[in-house]
Structure 1
Amino acid sequence: MKSLLSSRPVLWFLFLFNLAVAVVAPFVVDGAQGVMTAVGMGVVSLGAGISLARDRGRRVSA
């Protein structure tokens, strides 16, 4: 499971999909639930983005 979640296509999907949901959620869901959804999805997107950036640094220098 770890190798699947750390593959580049899955990381790109997690990054882009969660970023889109984080941007749209406060406008679709009212109140605190929309804000917390945006924060949670933003954290997942940020984690995937950081993982992509770290992987890119390893591939360039290797």
Structure 2
Amino acid sequence: MKPLLASRPVLWFLFLFNLVVATVAPFAIDGAQSILTCVGLGVVSLGAGVSLLRTRRTRA
């Protein structure tokens, strides 16, 4: 499972999908749930983005 999650297409999907959902969630959900959704998905998106940068640097 780890090699699948570390592949570049999966990381790009996680990064973009979670970023879009984190930005749209405050408009679709009200209250504290929207804040927690934004924070949670934002953390996942940032983690995928950092992994993308790390793999780019190690390959160069």
Shorter-chain TM-score range: over 0.9
Higher relative contact order (CA 8 A, sep 6+): 2
Q: What's the TM-score once normalised by structure 1's chain length? A: 0.95
Alpha-carbon shift at residue 13 of structure 1 (Å): 0.1
Runs of 4+ in 1 over 3 A off after TM superposition: none
Q: 1:24 maps to what in 2?
A: 24
Question: Which runs of no fewer than 5 residues in structure 2 stay unpaired?
Answer: none
How many percent of aligned residue pairs carry the same amino acid?
72
- Amino acid aligned to 2:23: V
Q: CA RMSD in A?
A: 0.4
Alpha-carbon shift at residue 44 of structure 1 (Å): 0.2
Distance 2:7 2:51 in 1: 10
Aligned ranges 1:36-51 → 2 under 5 Å: 36-51=36-51
Q: 1:6 maps to what in 2?
A: 6
Alpha-carbon shift at residue 48 of structure 1 (Å): 0.2
- Amino acid aligned to 1:24: V
